[in-house]
Structure formats: structure tokens, C-alpha cells
Amino acid sequence: MCQVEEDYKDEALQRTAALSVGQKCMKCKEGCAVVVIRVGDAFCKSCFRDYFVHKFRAMLGKTRLIFPGEKVLLALSGGSTSSSMLCQVQEGLSREASKKLRFSPGIVHIDEGAVCGRSAEERQETLMQLEAIFQASGFPYHIVYLEEVFKLPNSILQSVSSSPTSHGQNYKEAVDDFLQKQREALIDVEQRLTVEDERNVTHSEQIEAKFDQLSTSTAVSEENSATILSETSPSGKWPFTLEQTEAVKELFSSVKTLTAKEELLQTLRHHLILHTARNKEYSKIMMGDSCTRLAVKLLTNISLGRGASLAVDTGFSDNRYGDIMILRPMREYSSKEIAFYNKLFEVPTVFTPALDTKASDKASIHRLTESFVNKLQTDFPSTVSTVYRTSEKLNTACSDINSGVEQTDKCLLCLCIMDTKVEEASAFQATLISEKLSCKQSPDQMPVNKVSEQSCCDNQAEEKGKCCSTNSGACHPPVSNTTTDFLTLLCYSCRLTVKDMVSLSLLPQYVLSEAERRKRRAQVREQIQEFLLPPEDESDENY
């Protein structure tokens, strides 16, 4: 390839030629080029398709995380990336046996219409469009409503230590095992077929019967999703009550900034998806994050103080929940590639307004970062890929700092490892000191030597005009749910989110009661502290 280019005398001439319409595909040299990916690489329709499909399969192939026969939940918003992901899974399952993807997919969609200012009719209409797509896929699907957060159990906030037995065998063994079973099943079916042939049952009827079975099973699982997450609603139409819709709206209107709203929504959405996966016994979740999306998310998360969890938030696999793993198989596609694929191959998508739709560029950190990255990308076309590659080289730092500490606790909301037990000379401590110094203090206390981790100078305390100086180790008031106590259960970034909330009492019950439980446990632990022996080994479980 390189030699070919050198043959041209005039480079400039060659460049202009590279972008002409009647050009041939640079790969097969036959088809008419329809799309230019990367710099100047023109592909024809079928080569682009091969390239696109290969990327998806290669991503799953090289990571070797999805075991054959595993149930995988596809999180679908209806947007271009997740729809494209669904299309790839369908494609992979339609292949001939040797190349067929070997997992069984299901779909989950979270309806967030309640907080995005949509009426029941509008939501209904969107859902109908989405259901049509889901039904066409033939996969079981689950539609979950944001209102259902009020029915989530506490256990959502407890990460399960992954049992090593579940996939004790290595990937290759598992694949061999699976193929063996498949072969046996095939032989079994063939034998039955011959028997049935004798009974004059035609092949097509056989398939039809199978299909019927399949669709009934889909319907069954659909029903299940309704029954498990919801009691029967008054109208019979929605699996939640009007009061719950109001409660969700009230919760979000109590959050003062769009930045915090976005973070809260994302947290709740993750909890709902996780709950669905656990309930329906899916062991993997696939999220449709494109490379462009991830670059934006990386910068956003840095700006939100989530540096410690960048790797789990944006990596290919995310194991924060322990039992269920999140995968991001679309992370090597740029949003442009996806848009072209969807257009060329008529992948259906559904537009749903989000929290920040029609918001200005400076409405939230998320919006700002998105427009910043997009603008920079036009000036410096390597921005997205550079940011993305930078993230590939990152690790979570806090894990090794904390592993020595008694309990590697996780953040109540995002379930990431706490990043607040940092050394004294750090941005976190410096902020606490600044807050403390700006509050009222008795003069004899002036030279502050050590600020306890539990600073109490949050907005609420400030409003009351005083600052209780709890020293670390002093008795914790048993009266619960003061913002201060709650904050200590959160990571740096989730603290910032919660500080933007007017009141904690509007949070769903499962969050509040889990907070309560953790506080009690911490108190008990403190009481028995002197009798506890240090763990022998750091390979102890996280929980």
C-alpha cells in the first residue's frame, strides 16, 4: 500500500483523487466507494459492512469474556449506538453454526420519560416503536420504567463477591464443552426428526411448532418482567402508579443542577438494569457506548472527580457488581461510523428526548464536555481516538491504597471503590480544610492540625450557621440521615452530586435503608474494633 502511494509523483493530486465520488473501494478495488472512514480510506458498501461486523466479532473474540450459552442482556435506549449493537448481535446469531455467536441475548429498555418532561401518551408512542423493533429481533425483552426505582431492593447496592465456581473452567474448555453438547443435541434432534418423518410430519411444520414455542417463551418472560417488578397498576397499563411518577419528578426537581441530575439518573438507570439482569438471570450486560461517547465520558468523569474509577466506568469490562459484568462492545466504533452503518443498512432507531435535550452548551458538565470534544475533534481529528487510547493505559489507583485498610468499602451509589481515604496532602483533604476554615470556629482552635475525614461543613450545616466539629472517632449520633453521615458513605464524585440535592428524603427507599444498614454496621464494627484481628491475607473478599 505504502509503495503504491509513493509511485504517485504529485502527492497533492493524489489527495484530491482520494476524495472523488467515482472512486473505487480501497479494499476490494471493485465496488464503488460509498463511505470514507479514517483519513481517506474509501470503502464500498459491502467492504464497509464486513469491516464493521468484523470489528464487533473481533472485540468479543479477543476479550473472551462471554462464555458460550451465557445469557446476555443488551441495554437498549433506542439511540444509534445501542440499536447498531442489537443489529450486530442479530447478525452474529444469524450466521451458520461455525461462526454463530454462542450466547443468548435479551433486551432491556429503561423508560425515563417521567423526568424528561414527557406525557403518558408520548411515552406510550415511543414504547410502541421500540417494541416493534424488539419484537422483530425475536429476543426476549423487558421494558422497565424509571418509576420502578421505588420498588428496588436494598441488595442492589451490595456488590456480590463473584463466586469463582461459576466459571471456574477456562474459556477454551467452556467452548469445547458447549460445542460437544450442541453436537449431541443436534444428533438428538436428527434422530427425533427421522422418527417424526415416519409419522409424516413435514419439516416446515416442525419449524413452525418450534417458532411457536419460542414466541410463547418470549411472551412468558415478558409477563414475568411485569409481575416481578410491579404489582398490578390501577389502569392496568403501566406497572407503576401516578404517585410514583410524581415522586420521581419531585426527586429530580429537588436536584439543583443539571450535572447532578444527569449523574443521579445514570445511577438509577444502572440500578434498574442491574436489577433486571439479576432477576432474569442474565450474567452479562452489554452497553452501547461508542468511542466518541466514551471520550466524552472520560473527560466528563475527570471533571466530576471520578478519576479513580475511570477504568471501570469506561473500560471494556466492568466488574463492580461482582456477579454481573458490564461489557462495552461498541467502544471501538466512532459515532460517525455507526451513523453511516445505520443509514446504509437501514438500522431502525428511535429518538427519545433525554434530560439535556435542547439544553444549552453550558447547562451541565456533560453537555459542555460533549460540545468541547466535538469542537476539538473538528480542529484536531485525532482527539477522540487519543483520549480513548489514553484511557486504555489507565488502572484504578485507589484499589491498592485501600486494600491495606480494614474494609474496602464501596460507594453507596456508584458501587465503585471509595476514593476518599486518601493521604493528607490531597485535593480532597485540601477541600475539606478550605470548607472548615471558611466556617465559624472558636479562636483557640485556630491552628487546625488535622481535619477529620468527616467534615460537616456542607451546605446544610452552613445554613444553620454553625459547624459542629466532630473529630474522627467521636461518637456518631444515632439519629440518622443527616447529610453529613450520608456523605461519608459516598465516593468523591457522588458526594458532589448529593450536595446538589435539596433533601435526601426524596431518594428511593432502598438507598436510604441501605445507608442506614451500613451506618449501623460501621457502628457495630467500631464497638467491637478492639477484638478484631487484622486479616491475615489481603486476598480477602471485598465484602
Partner 1 sequence: MPIPCSSCEKKLAVLKRPKTGHSLCKDCFFWAFEEETHQTITSAKLFHQGETVGIGASGGKDSTVLAHVLKVLNERYHYGLNLILLSVDEGITGYRDDSLETVKRNQQQYDLPLKIVSYEELYGWTMDQIVKKVGLKNNCTFCGVFRRQALDRGAMMLRVDKVCTGHNADDIAETVLMNFLRGDIARLRRCTAITTGSEGAIPRCKPLKYAYEKEIVLYAYFKKLDYFSTECVYSPNAYRGYARAFLKDLESIRPSAIMAVIHSGENLSVKEDVKMPVQGTCGRCGYISSQGLCKACVLLEGLNRGLPKLGIGKHHKLHSRLLRDQPLTEREEKKLKSVDF
Residues that bind partner 1 (CB under 8 A): 257, 259, 298-299, 301-308, 310, 362, 364-365, 368-369, 372, 376, 383, 386-387, 389-390, 393-398, 419, 422, 424-431, 433-435, 437-441, 446, 448, 462, 465, 492-493, 496
| Smallest distance, partner 1 to C-beta of residue 18, A | 24
| Smallest distance, partner 1 to C-beta of residue 354, A | 18
Closer residue to partner 1 in complex, CB, 140/307: 307
Using CA atoms, how far apart are residues 315 and 312, in angstroms rounded to an integer? 5
CB 291 within 8 A of CB 374: no
Closer residue to partner 1 in complex, CB, 74/496: 496
Using CA atoms, how far apart are residues 294 and 291, in angstroms rounded to an integer? 5
| Smallest distance, partner 1 to C-beta of residue 329, A | 21
Q: Sheet holding 141-145: strands in order across?
A: 141-145, 104-111, 71-75, 284-287, 325-327, 317-318
CB 301 within 8 A of CB 292: no
Closer residue to partner 1 in complex, CB, 25/291: 291
| Smallest distance, partner 1 to C-beta of residue 104, A | 33
| Smallest distance, partner 1 to C-beta of residue 166, A | 26
CB 384 within 8 A of CB 483: no
Closer residue to partner 1 in complex, CB, 82/259: 259
| Smallest distance, partner 1 to C-beta of residue 400, A | 8
Using CA atoms, how far apart are residues 297 and 83, in angstroms rounded to an integer? 19
Closer residue to partner 1 in complex, CB, 202/382: 382
Angle at 172 between CA 168 and CA 175, to 5 degrees: 95
Q: Which helix (H) or strand (E) holds 462?
A: helix 459-464
| Smallest distance, partner 1 to C-beta of residue 256, A | 11
Using CA atoms, how far apart are residues 58 and 69, in angstroms rounded to an integer? 18
Closer residue to partner 1 in complex, CB, 332/462: 462
CB 107 within 8 A of CB 140: yes
Closer residue to partner 1 in complex, CB, 395/529: 395
Closer residue to partner 1 in complex, CB, 2/446: 446
CA distances 51 to 20, 28, 56, 401, 433, Å, are 21, 12, 9, 42, 54
Grid cell for residue 461: 450545616
| Smallest distance, partner 1 to C-beta of residue 434, A | 5
Angle at 491 between CA 490 and CA 497, to 5 degrees: 75
